[in-house]
C-alpha cells in the first residue's frame, strides 16, 4: 500500500538525474555486461523500431556488441518481444515476460483480435467470409506450417496457407484508402497472443525482413499481482515518478494504476514545484552525484520515453525539434542527466550532432568521445530511425 509520510521526503531534480545515471546504466562506471542486464534495468527495450533495441543496449554495454543483442534475441531467446505497454512493442527478459504478459499484453491481444475480426468481416477481399471459426482455423494452419518449416516469413507461410494471401481494403473511398495483407495481420495477432516470435532478420540487424518462429506459451498469472510487480520494477528504475507517469507508461486505467501503486508498497515524495510522486518504500536516501557523463541515445530510447512529465530532463523548447508529431522522440544527446541536443548518422556513416544548450568544453569533448564510440561499433552499418524528427532529418541531410 502507499504510505503517506507526515513530512513528505523531498527529492530534487539533481537527485533524479543522479539516479538516472546509475539505474539506467548511462554513466560509464555503471555500464552492463549483457543485453539482458540492460533490458531488466530499463524494464524493457522499445522494439517498434528494430534498431532501437541494438542502439539502446549498446549505449549501455561496457563492451558494445550487436552480436550480444543477437544472442539474447535469437540464440538464447532470453529476450522476447511483446506488444504491451501503450500498445507498443517491447523486448523484455523471459523473467519479466509473465508479468508484462498478464498485466498488459493479454488485454491488448484481446482487443487486437476483436479489431482484426471486425476488419475481416467488413473489408476482406477474399471469396469466403470470415468469422471466428475461419480465423481460428487459419491460425491453426499457420502454426502447423511453422512447426513443419521451423521458421518462415509471412510470404513463405502464405504458400502453405492460401487464406493469408487475401487482402483487406482499408478506409474504402477515402483519400488514404489502402490494402493490407491478411497474412501480416494474422501473424501480428499470433505474436500478440504469444504463439510466434520474430526470428533473426534476413540481412543485417537493421533489416525489417524477418521470419517467424513458434515459441512456447508464456505462463499466465494473477493480473493484479502482475500489475503490482510491474509497477514495483518500474519504480525501482524510474522512481520517483508521478501517478500520471506510470499511467502513461503502462497505458493502464487510472484505477488500475492507483491499485498497482498501492500493492507495490510505495510512499509519497515531493518533487520540485511541490509535485507529489511515488517511490518504493525504503528508496528515499540520496545517492552520490556521479562524475560528469555524456550519452547518445537512439530514437524511442526507454529513458527519453520513460515519463510523461519530462521538464526535469528535457527543456520544453527542445521538444519540436526532437519529437515527431505523434510524440516519438528521435536521437538525443545527454549531458549529466539532461537532453541538450540531438544526433544523426549521415549516409557516409559520420555521426553528427547539434547542441541546443551551451554546456561548455568538457561536455563537447565527452560527447565527441561518445560519438566516436558509437561510430566504432556501428562500423559499416547505416541506421535511419523509423520515426524521423525535424532535427534528425536536418542533421542527416548534411
pLDDT digits (tens, 9 = 90+) for 278-308: 999 999 999 899 999 999 999 999 999 999 9
- Mean pLDDT of all residues in 157-181: 90
- Mean pLDDT of all residues in 387-392: 98
- Mean pLDDT of all residues in 185-201: 94
Whole-number percent of the chain with pLDDT over 90: 90
pLDDT the model gives residue 126: 78
- Mean pLDDT of all residues in 239-243: 98
Query: Is pLDDT above 90 for 13?
Result: yes
pLDDT class for 174, splitting at 50, 70, 90? confident
Whole-number percent of the chain with pLDDT over 70: 98
| Mean pLDDT (the chain, rounded) | 95
47 contact partners, CB below 8 Å, separation of at least 6:
53, 81, 89, 90, 91
154 contact partners, CB below 8 Å, separation of at least 6:
164, 181, 183, 184, 187, 212
> For residues 114-125, b (16+ Cβ closer than 10 Å) or e, as one string?
eebbebbeebbe
pLDDT the model gives residue 7: 56
Q: Please tell me which residue, 243 or 204, carries the higher pLDDT value.
A: 243
- Mean pLDDT of all residues in 108-114: 96
pLDDT class for 203, splitting at 50, 70, 90? confident
165 contact partners, CB below 8 Å, separation of at least 6:
158, 181, 182, 183
pLDDT class for 171, splitting at 50, 70, 90? confident
271 near 240, Cβ under 8 Å? yes
127-141, 200-214, 307-321, 325-339: least confidently modelled range: 200-214
Query: Is pLDDT above 50 for 382?
Result: yes
- Mean pLDDT of all residues in 221-248: 98
pLDDT the model gives residue 19: 97
The dihedral built from the CA positions of residue 144, 120, 86 and 232, taken in this order, carries a sign that is negative
pLDDT the model gives residue 6: 46
Query: Is pLDDT above 60 for 311?
Result: yes
Query: Is pLDDT above 60 for 77?
Result: yes
Query: Is pLDDT above 50 for 104?
Result: yes
pLDDT the model gives residue 273: 93
Domain residue ranges in the chain: 314-397
Q: Please tell me which residue, 280 or 203, carries the higher pLDDT value.
A: 280
pLDDT class for 271, splitting at 50, 70, 90? very high
106-110, 155-159, 173-177, 340-344: least confidently modelled range: 173-177
> For residues 271-307, b (16+ Cβ closer than 10 Å) or e, as one string?
beeeeebbbbeebbeeeeebeebbbbbbbbbbbbbbb
Question: The whole model's pTM is what?
Answer: 0.94
Query: Is pLDDT above 80 for 350?
Result: yes
Q: Which of 284, 327, 214 is nearest to 10 (CA)?
A: 284
pLDDT class for 80, splitting at 50, 70, 90? very high
3-state secondary structure of 325: coil
Amino acid at each position: 500500500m502507499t504510505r503517506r509520510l507526515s513530512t513528505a521526503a523531498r527529492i530534487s531534480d539533481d537527485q533524479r538525474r543522479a539516479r538516472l545515471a546509475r539505474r539506467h546504466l548511462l554513466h560509464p562506471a555503471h555500464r552492463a555486461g549483457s543485453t539482458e542486464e540492460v533490458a531488466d534495468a530499463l524494464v524493457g527495450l522499445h522494439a517498434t523500431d528494430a534498431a532501437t533495441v541494438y542502439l539502446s543496449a549498446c549505449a549501455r554495454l561496457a563492451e558494445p556488441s550487436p552480436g550480444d543483442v543477437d544472442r539474447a534475441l535469437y540464440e538464447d531467446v532470453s529476450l522476447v518481444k511483446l506488444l504491451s505497454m501503450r500498445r507498443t512493442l517491447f523486448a523484455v527478459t523471459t523473467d519479466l515476460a509473465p508479468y508484462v504478459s498478464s498485466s498488459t499484453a493479454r488485454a491488448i491481444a484481446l482487443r487486437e483480435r476483436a479489431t482484426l475480426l471486425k476488419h475481416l468481416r467488413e473489408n476482406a477481399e477474399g471469396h469466403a467470409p470470415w468469422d471466428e471459426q475461419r480465423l481460428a482455423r487459419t491460425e491453426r494452419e499457420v502454426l502447423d506450417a511453422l512447426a513443419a518449416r521451423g521458421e518462415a516469413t509471412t510470404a513463405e507461410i502464405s504458400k502453405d496457407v492460401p487464406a493469408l494471401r487475401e487482402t483487406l481494403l482499408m478506409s474504402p473511398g477515402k483519400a488514404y484508402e489502402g490494402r493490407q495483407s491478411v497474412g501480416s495481420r494474422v501473424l501480428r495477432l499470433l505474436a500478440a497472443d504469444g504463439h510466434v516470435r520474430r526470428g533473426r532478420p534476413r540481412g543485417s540487424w537493421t533489416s525489417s525482413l524477418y521470419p517467424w518462429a513458434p515459441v512456447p506459451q508464456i505462463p499466465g498469472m494473477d493480473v493484479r499481482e502482475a500489475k503490482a510487480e510491474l509497477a514495483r520494477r518500474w519504480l525501482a528504475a524510474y522512481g520517483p515518478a508521478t501517478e500520471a507517469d506510470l499511467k502513461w507508461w503502462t497505458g493502464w486505467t487510472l484505477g488500475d494504476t492507483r491499485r498497482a501503486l498501492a500493492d507495490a508498497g510505495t510512499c509519497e515524495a515531493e518533487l520540485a514545484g511541490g509535485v507529489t510522486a511515488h517511490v518504493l518504500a525504503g528508496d528515499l536516501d540520496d545517492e552520490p552525484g556521479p562524475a560528469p557523463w555524456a550519452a547518445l541515445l537512439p530514437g524511442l530510447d526507454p529513458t527519453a520515453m520513460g515519463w510523461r512529465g519530462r521538464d526535469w530532463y528535457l527543456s520544453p523548447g527542445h521538444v519540436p525539434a526532437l519529437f515527431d508529431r505523434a510524440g516519438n522522440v528521435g536521437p538525443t544527446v545527454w549531458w549529466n542527466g539532461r537532453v541538450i541536443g540531438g544526433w544523426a548518422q549521415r549516409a557516409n556513416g559520420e555521426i553528427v550532432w547539434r547542441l541546443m544548450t551551451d554546456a561548455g568544453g568538457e561536455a563537447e569533448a565527452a560527447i565527441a568521445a561518445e560519438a566516436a564510440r558509437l561510430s566504432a561499433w556501428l562500423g559499416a552499418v547505416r541506421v535511419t530511425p523509423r520515426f524521423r524528427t525535424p532535427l534528425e532529418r536536418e542533421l542527416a541531410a548534411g
